[in-house]
């Protein structure tokens, strides 16, 4: 038995009085709370500092007996992002009872946080029981708070992997964003394929490698050391596979319909600014989704009955999600697949079962498990991890509805209504009648959340992170949602509403005209032919959409999607079937297929790449294929079988020897198969390739510029870096000069140049690219009609004039200003 002491003076209360459900319902553990009167937090016991929140508002100790004590200063103080807090210890420090841990600005925190109530809780309650808690009284520093009694190990729910590892490997996470959602999913997928348990240890905590939620909750950031631990000799192979995946992870942001565009503050008195998640313009009455929280009873009716109830409900939700995952559009499928992973996440299900074993109801147990994980994600201070909290809330509601046997609430949507809400879940958006919906504005959320991606796929204009003032807009008020400028306008005049509606009608009419005209070939007003192709992921649905939108061919078919999320590489026959299906949809239209572009940003379990300090500069693109010639040969055999013949594009070329090596393999295969050599192209994605464009053009039949990587390498900025990504602009004069060098090199050998990177989809960049000599643009299918319409209104001479001016400017901002002046 050990005693925890008060870490500061104040009023000690039971957790029930904490104004936060996660603490009050003991979702994170049992304990007490103190409303402090001083500004120093001191150690309540001897122990080791095992965790310090990134925003410095909370830290955890492990006592000498192994109890884990969390001290969380104030409620919702993670939102202060460290303001007013100063930590006086480091993770790993040994401290004595009464040692100073952190100081904080008591007045500032009191003003900015909802409450100063500070929970002191035991987070591994499966091993320790609180006895004789002293609450509802005033305490001084060092007064006893409660006693801890150890109740055992594995038989009380401790992880089976606890103890000293038999084999382990330590490594430093080098990429900027650490182990966020995508890397956690990669690690969990590998771990789930193993017959034994592995544990990831970092930041003074540990997590089961099979649990995506637990891995994200570690809050691992770039530069942190992690230890992969196994508890039997056979675990060495699995540890090596996960270590390789961690070394080769690159912090690429999840795909979103548009870039996460920070918007400058509006100076209009009746405007609320936000972050653009899905571009568009809408006007209509504001309305809210008002759904009361589903009530749950805490006490259960026997563990067996409650466990059966939870499993039945999960089966119902699993069946619904699986049906959506197989029948819905690709983006919806991805989101539903992610929810299926969470539904069966062992960390979530095991926690719920422990609550049920402790006498709780199935509904209470499920809610407690998911809210505890959600709170841990929010506490990391990582905004991208916090966006995943919406998925947990969504899954909580779905299972609770299934347990209760009731229907999810229906919402009345006014025609053209603008949905206002603090947050929104993917299932809510899927369930409502989006045909009536004009747009969405959320007080919170982020542009890379699943609901934001879904809104973009559905073509619904959307703003996120508008702030709490959004919820003060009266229901029924007419508003303008401008998700091009990033503002929600209220208190509108009749003239403003009329102008906005006229603009929307004009855009709708123009879109219909653009789609009709898109079926014709594209050329400049001055007669020069410009081809507008589509970027495809390899699915028949994508190809059919591209044809319907007026694509004149496929300028980039990304084959890596066929190689991801599987345990073995696709063989020649499987690849050929996939490529041939797309070719048949395109008919006589050109089909350009890029060979496997795999590497540090797209690790795959069956291709363990060697350790790299900087994966972005390591085995990527064609380098990986030449490193594994067996994979390259199988892919080339498949590509040579496509009819009509496709063109082959080689990624990440940096020198002539790479092209010649592939050419030799192609020539040998063509001789063996008795087929004509295909047209061969090279991707220009590095400054080296742009400078060698003339020599590269001598070796290939066409060039294609990948502007995303070209800009990243030219500007030495990681496009996955949270602080730098917004500054990477392909219209930077340095990048434009590399594009100019590429076009000049290609012209020397009469080779066409395409742009298949993100810059091709930017209307402001199109005149500049065409003026530099680009003759083909390959873009997402839905942008094809708009770009064709834009191109038909341009002349070659005017494009060359604006391109010449852009090359001598000093910044991307100046280039964009020049283009605006040109197009007015």
Question: What is the per-residue DSSP string for 186-240?
Answer: HHHHHHHTSSS-EEEEETTEEEETT-HHHHHHT---TT-EEEEEESSGGGHHHHH
Cβ neighbours of 431 (radius 10 Å): 13
pLDDT at 229: 85
- Reading the block at residue 18, the tokens are 């904490």
Average the pLDDT over each of 25-34, 394-403, 799-808 and give the range with the smallest value. Answer: 25-34
Rounded Cα–Cα distance for residues 469 and 485 (Å): 18
Task: Give the containing element (helix H, strand E) for 391.
Answer: helix 389-404
- Average pLDDT score over the chain: 83
Per-residue pLDDT at 194 = 83
Tell me the pLDDT band of 440, cut-offs 50, 70 and 90: very high
Are 17 and 127 members of one domain?
Answer: yes
In a domain, 478, yes or no: yes
Q: What is the mean predicted confidence (pLDDT) over 317-326?
A: 79
Instruction: Reply yes or no on whether 756 is catalytic.
Output: yes
In this predicted structure, the answer to whether residue 315 has a pLDDT above a threshold of 60 is: yes
Greater pLDDT, 371 or 663: 663
Same domain? 575 vs 686: yes
The fraction of the chain above a pLDDT of 70, given in percent, is: 83
- Which of these is catalytic: 175, 450, 721, 732? 450
**Strand 144-150 relative to strand 128-131, pairing:** antiparallel
> Of 357, 383, 404, which marks where a domain is finished?
404
In the listed set 510, 537, 565, which residue is the last one of a domain according to the structure? 510
pLDDT at position 762 over 70: yes
Q: How far apart are CA 683 and CA 91, in angstroms?
A: 46
Among the listed ranges 124-133, 378-387, 453-462, 707-716, which one has the minimum average pLDDT value?
A: 378-387
Domain shared by 360 and 307, yes or no: yes
Looking at the fold, whether 591 and 689 belong to one and the same domain comes out as yes
331 and 422 in a single domain? The answer is: no
- Which pLDDT does position 527 carry in this prediction? 94
CA distances from 667 to 41, 624, 659, 672, 674 (A): 72, 20, 12, 9, 10
Q: Are strands 702-705 and 680-684 parallel, antiparallel or unpaired?
A: parallel
User: Domain for residue 226, yes or no?
Assistant: yes
pLDDT by residue (tens digit) across 54-88? 678 888 888 988 888 889 999 878 767 788 999 99
57 in the same domain as 191: no
In a domain, 256, yes or no: no
pLDDT tens profile 176-214: 557 765 577 678 778 877 888 898 988 667 788 887 657
> Quick one: which of 215, 184, 210 has its CA closest to 198?
210
| Domain membership flag for residue 706 | yes
297: in domain: no
Report the distance separating Cα 575 and Cα 579, nearest Å. 6
Write the CATH number for 453. 3.50.30.10
Specify whether 348 is located in the same domain as 416: no
- Within 270-345, residue ranges assigned H as helices are 303-327, 330-343
In a domain, 261, yes or no: no
pLDDT digits (tens, 9 = 90+) for 335-355: 677 777 788 888 888 889 999
DSSP per-residue codes, 673-705: HT-PPPPEEEEE-SHHHHHTHHHHHHHSSEEEE
How far apart CA 218 and CA 376 sit, in angstroms, is: 8
Reported as a single tens digit per residue, the pLDDT across 794-820 is 999 999 999 999 999 999 999 989 998
**Domain, as residue range, for 628:** 526-823
CATH number of the domain encompassing residue 222:
3.30.1340.10
Residue scoring higher pLDDT (16 or 612): 16
**CATH number assigned to the domain comprising residue 137:** 2.70.70.10
Crossing angle for the helix pair 733-747 and 812-823, to the nearest 10 degrees = 70
Spatial separation of the C-alpha atoms in residues 761 and 778, rounded to whole Å: 8
Domain membership flag for residue 552: yes
210-224, 379-393, 422-436, 567-581: lowest mean pLDDT where?
379-393
Residue 472 has pLDDT above 60, yes or no: yes
Domain shared by 279 and 312, yes or no: no
Residue 44 has pLDDT above 90, yes or no: yes
pLDDT bracket for residue 657 (50, 70, 90): very high
d(CA 420, CA 656): 55
Domain assignment present for 263? no
Pair 232, 344 in one domain: no
Question: Percent helix, strand and coil across the chain, each rounded to 5?
Answer: 40, 20, 40
Residue 577 and residue 661 in one domain: yes
Q: How many domains in the chain?
A: 5
- How far from 644 is each of 4, 433, 556, CA to CA, in Å? 76, 42, 16
Supply 115's token pair. 């409450």
Q: Note the pLDDT of residue 269.
A: 41
Catalytic position from the list 12, 646, 743, 756: 756
Residues 688 and 636 in one domain: yes
> What's the pLDDT score for residue 392?
82
What are phi and psi for residue 418, nearest 5 degrees? -100, 110
Verify that 429 and 462 share a domain, yes or no: yes
Is 450 catalytic? The answer is: yes
Query: In the predicted model, what is the mean pLDDT of residues 265-283?
Result: 71
Query: What pLDDT, on a 0 to 100 scale, did the predictor assign at position 289?
Result: 73
Cα-flanking dihedrals φ and ψ of residue 675, to 5°? -120, 155
Contact predicate 278/455, CB 8 Å:
yes
How far is CA 692 from its chain centroid?
35
CATH of the domain at 561: 3.20.20.60
Per-residue pLDDT tens over the stretch 717-740: 765 444 454 467 889 999 999 999
pLDDT digits (tens, 9 = 90+) for 411-422: 678 889 999 988
């Amino acid at each position: 038995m050990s005693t925890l002491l008060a870490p500061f003076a104040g009023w000690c209360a039971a957790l029930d009085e904490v104004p936060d459900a996660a603490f009050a319902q003991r979702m994170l553990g049992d304990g007490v709370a103190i409303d402090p009167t001083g500004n120093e937090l001191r150690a309540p016991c001897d122990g080791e500092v095992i965790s310090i929140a990134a925003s410095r508002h909370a830290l955890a100790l492990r006592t000498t007996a192994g109890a884990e004590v969390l001290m969380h200063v104030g409620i919702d103080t993670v939102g202060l992002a460290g303001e007013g807090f100063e930590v006086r210890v480091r993770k790993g420090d040994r401290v004595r009872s009464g040692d100073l841990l952190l100081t904080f600005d008591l007045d500032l925190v009191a003003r900015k946080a909802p409450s100063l109530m500070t929970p002191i809780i035991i987070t591994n309650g499966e091993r320790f029981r609180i006895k004789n808690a002293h609450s509802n009284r005033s305490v001084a520093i060092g007064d006893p708070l409660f006693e801890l009694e150890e109740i055992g190990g594995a038989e009380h729910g401790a992880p089976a992997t606890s103890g000293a590892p038999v084999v382990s490997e330590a490594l430093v996470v080098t990429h900027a964003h650490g182990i966020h959602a995508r890397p956690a999913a990669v690690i969990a997928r590998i771990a789930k394929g193993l017959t034994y348990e592995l544990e990831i240890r970092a930041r003074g905590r540990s997590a089961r490698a099979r649990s995506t939620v637990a891995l994200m909750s570690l809050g691992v950031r770039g530069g942190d050391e992690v230890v992969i631990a196994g508890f039997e000799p056979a675990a060495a192979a699995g540890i090596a596979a996960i270590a390789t995946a961690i070394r080769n992870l690159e912090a690429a942001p999840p795909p979103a319909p548009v870039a996460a565009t920070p918007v400058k503050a509006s100076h209009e008195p009746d405007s609320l600014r936000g972050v653009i998640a899905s571009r568009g313009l809408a006007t209509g009455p504001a309305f809210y989704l008002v759904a009361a929280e589903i009530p749950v009873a805490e006490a259960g009716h026997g563990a067996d009955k409650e466990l059966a109830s939870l499993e039945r409900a999960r089966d119902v939700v699993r069946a619904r999600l699986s049906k959506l995952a197989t029948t819905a559009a690709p983006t919806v499928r991805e989101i539903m697949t992610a929810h299926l992973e969470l539904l069966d996440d062992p960390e979530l299900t095991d926690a719920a079962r422990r609550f049920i074993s402790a006498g709780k109801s199935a509904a209470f147990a499920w809610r407690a498990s998911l809210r505890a994980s959600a709170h841990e994600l929010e506490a990391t201070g990582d905004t991208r991890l916090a966006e995943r909290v919406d998925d947990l809330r969504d899954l909580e509601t779905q299972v609770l509805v299934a347990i209760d046997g009731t229907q999810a609430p229906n919402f009345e949507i006014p025609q053209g209504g603008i949905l206002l809400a603090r947050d929104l879940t993917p299932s809510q958006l899927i369930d409502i009648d989006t045909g009536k919906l004009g747009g969405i504005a959320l007080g919170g959320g982020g542009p890379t959340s699943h609901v934001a991606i879904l809104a973009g796929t559905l073509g619904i204009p959307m703003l996120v992170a508008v702030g709490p003032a959004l919820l003060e807009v009266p229901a029924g008020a007419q508003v303008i949602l401008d998700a091009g400028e990033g503002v929600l306008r209220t208190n509108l005049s009749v003239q403003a509403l009329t102008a906005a509606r006229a603009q929307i009608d004009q855009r709708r009419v123009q879109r219909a005209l653009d789609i009709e005209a898109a079926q014709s070939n594209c050329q400049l007003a001055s007669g020069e032919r410009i081809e507008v192709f589509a970027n495809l992921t390899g699915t028949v649905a994508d190809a059919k959409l591209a044809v319907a939108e007026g694509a004149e061919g496929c300028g980039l078919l990304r084959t890596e999607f066929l190689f991801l999320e599987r345990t073995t590489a696709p063989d020649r026959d499987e690849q050929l079937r996939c490529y041939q299906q797309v070719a048949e949809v395109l008919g006589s239209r050109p089909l350009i297929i890029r060979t496997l572009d795999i590497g540090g940003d797209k690790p795959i379990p069956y291709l363990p790449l060697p350790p790299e300090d900087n994966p972005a500069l390591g085995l990527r693109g064609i380098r990986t294929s030449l490193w594994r010639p067996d994979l390259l040969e199988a892919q080339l055999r498949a590509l040579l079988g496509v009819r009509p013949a496709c063109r082959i594009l080689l990624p990440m070329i940096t020198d002539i020897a790479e092209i010649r090596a592939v050419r030799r393999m192609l020539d040998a295969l063509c001789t063996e198969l008795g087929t004509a050599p295909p047209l061969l192209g090279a991707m220009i994605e590095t400054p080296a390739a742009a400078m060698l464009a003339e020599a590269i053009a001598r070796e290939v039949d066409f060039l294609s510029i990948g502007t995303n990587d070209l800009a990243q390498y030219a500007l030495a900025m990681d496009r996955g870096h949270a602080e730098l990504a917004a500054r990477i602009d392909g219209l930077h004069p340095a990048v434009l000069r590399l594009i100019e060098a590429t076009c000049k090199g290609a012209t020397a050998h009469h080779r066409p140049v395409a742009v298949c990177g993100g810059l091709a989809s930017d209307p402001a960049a199109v005149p500049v690219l065409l003026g530099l000599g680009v003759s083909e643009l390959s873009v997402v299918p839905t942008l094809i009609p708009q770009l064709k319409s834009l191109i038909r209104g341009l002349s070659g001479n005017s494009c060359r004039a604006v391109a010449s001016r852009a090359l001598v400017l000093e910044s991307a901002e100046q280039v964009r200003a020049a283009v605006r002046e040109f197009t007015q």
